[in-house]
Structure 1
């Protein structure tokens, strides 16, 4: 159904009202909100690029891969913000986000080189990813390494 308030069908950014969260002001939460909002920009731009892809086999596969990664990024930011007081858990989410961004960038190559998407659209999303990367670094730097649980996989700390 067509929505006149949102004709493109885009995912909307959140207002991020306080809602009684006493940790709303913490740097990790502030950076997380900015990062989440930028991830929504990336998701919407990815969706627009996917709309330009041909529905033939190669285009459909590229659409699927692009959207799988673009959708996973805001979900993992939200997940990380839900556990931001446990370093190893929030780091797991951060690593998954980094991997998804890397895969999205690789798929942008496929959009341009294999599917004929104009370079200006690919470059626009790459620019958004660079802004996201800067916000991501700020978010990760705000993680509290001193607040953690033992990691029996020894990935982020020793048990």
Structure 2
């Protein structure tokens, strides 16, 4: 039976990252169209760190969990990239971006542990062939 996702350390760290990101992007002036666009992407990516954990826990099946894990990884990596983009485009408060980067490093460790707990034999066949357990092929 899936856990309440809010009790998971991964979920809690994701919520912390969302909160940190929200506070930092509040410093971005809306009159800069580039930084304003990055602001929206950062908030979306930070939200994925909890939303997709909840979806994976609710779905419980290996293929659903792996798909969510791939989306979480993508969102976390892009959030880190957005920090660099802010620096490149003149965001004046770059000293706070280290908070996001450090939290993402901890999140990554928790993520690895979480993924190791997936049960590969609790699955439905992914006929696309991308998120099947090792050794299981869509033709089966």
**Unaligned segments of structure 1, at least 5 residues:** 1-21
User: TM-score of the superposition, structure 2-length normalised?
Assistant: 0.87
> After the TM superposition, which of the residue ranges 117-126 and 91-100 deviates more from structure 2?
117-126
Which aligned pairs between 1:65-76 and structure 2 lie closer than 5 A?
65-76=41-52
Deviation of 1:31 after TM superposition, in Å, equals: 10
CA distances 1:11-33 after superposition (whole Å, capped 9, x unpaired): xxxxxxxxxxx654xxxx78971
Equivalent residue number for residue 15 of structure 1: none
Give the secondary-structure state (helix, strand or coil) at the position aligned to 1:52. coil
Counterpart of 1:60 (choices 36, 42, 45) is 36
Task: Give how far 1:61 is off.
Answer: 0.7
Runs of 4+ in 1 over 6 A off after TM superposition: 29-32
Tell me the residue number matched to 2:23.
Answer: 48
Structure 2 unmatched ranges of 5 or more: none
Relative to structure 1, the CA distance from residue 23 to residue 122 in structure 2 (aligned partners, 3 Å threshold; closer, same or farther) is closer
Q: 1:23 to 1:54 in 2, by over 3 A?
A: closer
2: CA distance, partners of 1:136 / 1:68: 19
Q: Normalising by the residue count of structure 1, what TM-score does the alignment of the two structures yield?
A: 0.77
* Aligned ranges 1:75-114 → 2 under 5 Å: 75-84=51-60, 86-114=61-89
1:39 maps to: 14
**How much does 1:59 deviate?**
1.9
Match of 1:130 in 2: 105
Give the number of the structure whose residues are more often helix, by fraction. Answer: 2
